[in-house]
Amino acid sequence: MKIYNSLSRVKEEFIPHEPGRVSMYTCGPTVYHFAHIGNLRTYIMEDVLDRYLRYSGYDVKRVMNITDVGHLSGDSDSGEDKMLSGARREHKSVMDVARFYTDAFFSDCKKLNIRRPDAVVPATDCIDEFIKVISSLIDKGYAYLAGGNVYFDTSRLDRYYVFNDFSEDDLAVGVREGVEADGNKRNKSDFVLWFTKSKFDDQELKWDSPWGLGYPGWHIECSCISMKNLGEYLDIHCGGIDNQFPHHTNEIAQSEAYLGHKWCSYWVHVHHLNTGTGKMSKSSGEFLTLSLLEGKGYDPMAYRLFCLQSHYRKSLLFTWENLDNAAAAYSKLVARVAALRPSGGKTDSETFDGLKRRFCDALDNDLNSSLAVTALYDVLKADTDDGTKLALIEDFDRVLALDLIKAAQDLRDASCKAETHPSDPDSPEIEALVAERTEAKKKKDFARADEIREKLKQMGVVLEDGPAGTKWRRI
Ligand code: AMP
Ligand code: ZN
């Protein structure tokens, strides 16, 4: 398999540190709010990578942190802890907020068929580990105390900006974050490992440390949680592209200074989900959640397909029209799978192997999920028996995780039910609303179209948009 490595900036052959085994670390969510569908794009694409490695026979161990302390509103050690602002917004304690949004995150992941990592570790469970690593960095001369905080000294490194070639002057922390630069730092690019002093002294959670009562910086948590659970040599580290700098740059600096050797071999970054006005972000307050899409009648699998249809290294533009297209494509896909009849005979192994090769070739080439979806359509078009097609679809769905076989069965069950109740008493009203919605969509009056979909949903009716028009059925 070839994968693009953000460190070398080329596609590289994937060779794990230990043959047959893969250690994989994923930056987890900052749990002060719901994950938005942009965050979920990153987790869907990381899930495809995780699933494809397992499908290819690797023994994968995947670890994810939960950021429940230390992620400040500015990534460069400035501003207030995001968890604290979440707690204040909701009049709850930080831990209550963390618990609530951690559960909400995994509930979204479940709906999107995102596998739960083998280990999920909240930062607040690892304070002793952070203190151990920070103490060692001080002993080795890589970290210093100033103004009550512990800082990493980036001037001790031969090369700090490993992903991008910034110059220190370009960094302009104070300007970018709208706050003053931290006068305690010896170099502009130094970053905080442990805070005992910040402008926001009402930090709710603080721990004893050799440097006083305080709390860890955001970057140290991922380094420590990864090294503790996955050892000194990490194969793959993933995250969204915005994590490259400063978060991942700082992770590399402190982990390699601590270990004394190269730490992680492959850095995989998923590009952003954008709206018309730029990156979807929690801090802007304007973001879409999976529950909101569901409320409008979209199946989470339609959103998963929407993400799979584009390459993870390209930014993806979210529009309702694009999502409608994915929803229609998903319904059609399920209907085509539902029309296949298991043949019970032997699978056509030559066709099976040929189509599977096409699927693997796509994913072996830097996880080209969009071509892998095309390979799925090739299966439906193939000149072979339905049993072979179903076997291939089931096989591909171990990676694509679109629930195709189950959704097809549900559709068959639903049409059986509809056939036994041919005269729905509300059907004239339903038909009229469906027709009105089709008209509204033609006129690009999506607000009215959404309103009608919602109204029908409340009447217990779901809509399936397909190329032949809109079908409705009872939930
Ligand atoms: P956060 O909860 O803010 O720490 O972010 C969780 C993950 O989502 C990180 O890997 C981010 O890089 C990623 N992320 C943030 N915004 C977006 C976006 N608009 N599109 C895709 N990924 C994103
Ligand atoms: Zn991280």
The pTM of the full predicted model, rounded to 2 decimals, is 0.86
Encoding tokens for residue 203? 């930090």
Q: How far is the CA of 295 from the centre of ligand 2 (A)?
A: 31
DSSP structure class, residue 313: T
Question: Which ligand 1 atom sits nearest the alpha carbon of residue 240?
Answer: 12
Q: Is 311 exposed, middle or buried (0-12, 13-18, 19+ CB in 10 A)?
A: middle
Does residue 280's CB lie within 6 angstroms of at least one atom of ligand 1? yes
In this prediction, residue 169 carries a pLDDT of 55
- Say which ligand is closest to the CA of 270: 1
| Spatial distance between the Cα atoms of 126 and 221, rounded to a whole number of angstroms | 8
Q: Is 56 exposed, middle or buried (0-12, 13-18, 19+ CB in 10 A)?
A: middle
In this prediction, residue 394 carries a pLDDT of 97
What contacts 372, CB < 8 A, 6 or more positions away?
Answer: 308, 359, 362, 363, 396, 399, 400
- Say which ligand is closest to the CA of 42: 1
In this prediction, residue 132 carries a pLDDT of 98
Q: How far is the CA of 453 from the centre of ligand 2 (A)?
A: 39
In this prediction, residue 439 carries a pLDDT of 80
Among protein residues, the one with the nearest Cα to ligand 1's atom 23 is 39
Phi-psi sector, 40: left (phi>0), alpha (psi -120 to 50), beta: alpha
Q: How far is the CA of 111 from the centre of ligand 1 (A)?
A: 18
In this prediction, residue 435 carries a pLDDT of 79
Compute the C-alpha angle 38/40/42, nearest 5°: 80
With beta carbons less than 8 A apart as the criterion, state whether 29 and 239 touch: no
In this prediction, residue 173 carries a pLDDT of 41
| Spatial distance between the Cα atoms of 127 and 104, rounded to a whole number of angstroms | 24
Q: How far is the CA of 148 from the centre of ligand 1 (A)?
A: 31
In this prediction, residue 168 carries a pLDDT of 59
Does residue 240's CB lie within 6 angstroms of at least one atom of ligand 1? yes
Question: Which ligand 1 atom sits nearest the alpha carbon of residue 316?
Answer: 20
- pLDDT by position in tens, the chain (length 475): 999 999 999 999 999 999 999 999 999 999 998 999 999 999 999 999 999 999 999 999 999 999 987 677 665 666 677 877 888 888 888 888 899 999 999 999 999 999 999 999 999 999 999 999 999 999 999 999 999 999 999 999 999 999 976 655 555 443 334 345 788 999 999 999 998 886 665 677 889 999 999 999 889 999 999 999 999 999 999 999 999 999 999 999 999 999 999 999 999 999 999 988 888 987 776 789 999 999 999 999 999 999 999 999 999 999 999 999 999 999 999 999 999 988 778 899 999 999 999 999 999 999 999 999 999 999 999 999 999 999 999 999 999 999 999 999 988 877 665 554 556 777 777 877 887 888 888 778 889 899 999 999 888 888 888 776 788 888 7
Does residue 28's CB lie within 6 angstroms of at least one atom of ligand 1? no
- Say which ligand is closest to the CA of 269: 1
In this prediction, residue 177 carries a pLDDT of 40
| Spatial distance between the Cα atoms of 375 and 359, rounded to a whole number of angstroms | 5
